Amino acid sequence: MPVTPVETFLQQAIGLDSASIGVEALQHLQNARLHSTGLDASDYAGFLHKSPEEQAQLIESVVVTETWFFRNHLSFDFIAEWLQQPSRRSQNLRLLSLPCATGEEAYSLVMTLLNQGFSPAQLSLDAVDISVQALRVAQQGSYRSSAFRGEPGRQAQQNFFHLVEQRTALNTEVLYQVKPAVQACIHWQQGNILDAHLFPHSALFDVIFCRNLLIYLTKKASAQAINNLMRWLKPTGLLCVGHAERSLVSQAGFVQVTRPGIFVCQHPHAAGNEAAVRTASKVPKLAVRSPLRPSPNLTAFQPNPAATAAVMPSEVEASLSAMQHLEQAQKLADQGALHVALQHCQAFLQQQPEIAEGHFLCALIYQARHDEPQAERYFQQTLYLQPNHEEALRHLMMLLQRQGRTAQATSLQQRLQRLRSLARQSP
């Protein structure tokens, strides 16, 4: 239940679940708005209610627009492969990226399909986000090298970008500018996923990317958003979601394509899926629980190439139960076989995406592999599922401190202190 006017507004306007970003972060954000408007908390509520400009500012300050080119690139590869079927090869394709944030996902999809031989005339992609600031960046189409985090992104740099210099008062920066042929395939639009009338006159979509938004929404808003996605997607189309969002769409009847590492679903009304739709409402919701505590030495994983080599990948694919995958992941991580441990961990998360401990173990393994962006992502996911996960809070705080992100680290530290003093007070 929202407790402040700011929480209430954000919940009603964009469906935000305040637990997904944390009470401290929200408080910090509200203080920043009070500071910038010069109002005190009691006057701010009335001002927010009356001022569309302030509402827009508040939304801009709360949204998380973190994204990068070819994020989870296996899903792009899968969509490209699926669209290669003769019946689709000759079609004009309607694609949607919602939320598109600063545009990397939308551009990645168009680049993937152009690489596969689709012509620009065949592709029409609608890219939608609530954030006007993010859309401005997207439309501009110039990116720093940090927006490209993997090999597919680096390959795309050569084919679809040219270098431009951007001069500021302080320095000159070299940026990657998307070529006009790619930009021409995309139509940018500001919009809210909760708005059922977002696409009043347009045809349905063949492919929808809706990744890393549902995790921030309340149950009610998430159901509303999924209902809209269902109406906007062709019955023969595919929906791509974030890895932690699969259970949400499955519960609504979307049917997952079972391929490791991809998070793609078929429409509930696709031929053959009717049974899934009928049973969807009966799918039990997984309990959020913490079945295993990682052993204390998990924090001290050391890579051990010999141990990695000793384990065949086929062992990961064997039909182990979720718990067996988690136990294997833990054991192998202790031995330093980080690569295979990670595969087991991901196999566990495919079956049990709502168990915080699986995300936490993944985060620790990534951390041991010095992959901080992924480690951060999994720590965040752990905290989303279990906001009082002390070890995740502590690790994430230290990671942020190392990166010099002091304000965020301090906010986590305060959260930890509060947790500890609550624990001391409890009988």
Q: Write down the least CB distance from residue 316 to ligand SAM, Å.
A: 26
Q: Which is nearer to ligand SAM, 14 or 356 (CB)?
A: 14
> Does 138 participate in binding ligand SAM (rule CB under 6 A)?
no
Q: Which is nearer to ligand SAM, 62 or 393 (CB)?
A: 62
For residues 100 and 183, is the Cβ–Cβ distance under 8 A? no
C-alpha 142/C-alpha 329 separation (Å) is 40
Q: Write down the least CB distance from residue 213 to ligand SAM, Å.
A: 4
Q: Which is nearer to ligand SAM, 194 or 229 (CB)?
A: 194
Of the residues 6, 14, 109, 412, which one makes contact with ligand SAM according to CB under 6 A:
14
Q: Which is nearer to ligand SAM, 301 or 384 (CB)?
A: 384
Q: Write down the least CB distance from residue 272 to ligand SAM, Å.
A: 28
> Does 15 participate in binding ligand SAM (rule CB under 6 A)?
yes
For residues 389 and 354, is the Cβ–Cβ distance under 8 A? no
Q: Write down the least CB distance from residue 102 to ligand SAM, Å.
A: 7
Tell me which residue of 233, 208, 222, 181 sits closest to 126, measured CA to CA.
Answer: 208
Binding mask 100-119 for ligand SAM (x = CB under 6 A): -x---x--------------
Q: Which is nearer to ligand SAM, 217 or 340 (CB)?
A: 217
Of the residues 129, 206, 354, 376, which one makes contact with ligand SAM according to CB under 6 A:
129
239 phi/psi in degrees, rounded to 5: -115, 130
Of the residues 30, 108, 112, 131, which one makes contact with ligand SAM according to CB under 6 A:
131
Q: Which is nearer to ligand SAM, 103 or 358 (CB)?
A: 103
* Residue labelled with tokens 């951060």: 376
Q: Which is nearer to ligand SAM, 4 or 65 (CB)?
A: 65
Q: Write down the least CB distance from residue 287 to ligand SAM, Å.
A: 26
Q: Which is nearer to ligand SAM, 56 or 64 (CB)?
A: 64
C-alpha 406/C-alpha 342 separation (Å) is 29
What's the token pair of residue 88? 């689709």
C-alpha 418/C-alpha 332 separation (Å) is 34
Q: Write down the least CB distance from residue 310 to ligand SAM, Å.
A: 36
Q: Write down the least CB distance from residue 13 to ligand SAM, Å.
A: 8
C-alpha 187/C-alpha 426 separation (Å) is 55
Q: Write down the least CB distance from residue 209 to ligand SAM, Å.
A: 6
Does residue 272 come out as left (phi exceeding 0), alpha (psi in the -120 to 50 range) or beta?
left
Binding mask 191-230 for ligand SAM (x = CB under 6 A): -xxx----------------xxx-----------------
Number of neighbours of residue 28 by Cβ within 10 angstroms = 17
Q: Which is nearer to ligand SAM, 102 or 328 (CB)?
A: 102
| Long-range contacts, 157-165 (Cβ 8 Å, 24+) | 159/111, 159/115, 160/107, 160/111, 160/114
Q: Write down the least CB distance from residue 171 to ligand SAM, Å.
A: 27
Q: Which is nearer to ligand SAM, 80 or 323 (CB)?
A: 80
> Does 11 participate in binding ligand SAM (rule CB under 6 A)?
no
What residues from 57 to 76 belong to the interface with ligand SAM (CB under 6 A)? 63-67, 71
C-alpha 140/C-alpha 52 separation (Å) is 25
C-alpha 309/C-alpha 330 separation (Å) is 17
Q: Write down the least CB distance from residue 147 to ligand SAM, Å.
A: 11
Residues that bind ligand SAM in the complex, under the rule CB under 6 A: 14-15, 63-67, 71, 99, 101, 105, 129-131, 134, 192-194, 211-213, 242
